[in-house]
Amino acid sequence: MRTLDQSSKLKNVLYEIRGAALDEAARLEAAGHTVLKLNTGNPAIFGFEAPYQIVRDMIAAVPTAHGYSESRGILAARRAIVSRYEEIPGFPHVDPENVFLGNGVSELITMTMQALLDEGDEVLIPAPDYPLWTAMTSLSGGTPVHYVCDENNGWNPDLEDIRSRITDRTKAIVIINPNNPTGAVYSRETLEGIADIAREHSLLVLSDEIYDRILFDDAVHIPMATIAPDLLCLTFNGLSKTYRVAGYRSGWMVITGPQKHAQGFLHGINLLASTRLCPNVPAQHAVLAALTGVQTIDQLVAPSGRLHEQRDITWEKLNEIPGVSCVKPQGALYAFPRLDPEVHEIRDDAKLVYDLLVAERILLVQGTGFNWDAPDHLRIVTLPEARVLGEAIERLGNFLSSYKQ
Ligand code: PLP
Non-local (6+) Cβ contacts of 61 within 8 A are 281, 282, 285, 286
Q: What pLDDT does 344 receive?
A: 93
Cα(236) to ligand 1 centroid in Å equals 9
Residues 134 and 115: their CA atoms lie apart, in Å, by: 15
Q: What is the pLDDT of residues 96-144, one digit of tens each?
A: 999 999 999 999 999 999 999 999 999 999 999 999 999 999 999 999 9
Residue 209: CB within 6 Å of ligand 1? no
Q: Terminus-to-terminus CA distance in the chain, angstroms?
A: 41
- Say whether pLDDT at 3 is over 80: yes
Residue 246: CB within 6 Å of ligand 1? yes
At residue 353 the predicted structure's pLDDT band, cuts being 50, 70 and 90, is: very high
Residue 180: CB within 6 Å of ligand 1? yes
Q: What is the pLDDT of residues 18-75, one digit of tens each?
A: 878 889 999 999 999 999 999 999 999 999 999 998 999 889 999 999 999 999 999 9
Cα(136) to ligand 1 centroid in Å equals 13
> Whole-model pTM above 0.90?
yes
Residue 129: CB within 6 Å of ligand 1? no
Instruction: Kindly provide the ipTM of the predicted complex, given to two decimals.
Output: 0.99
Query: What percentage of the chain exceeds 90 in pLDDT?
Result: 90
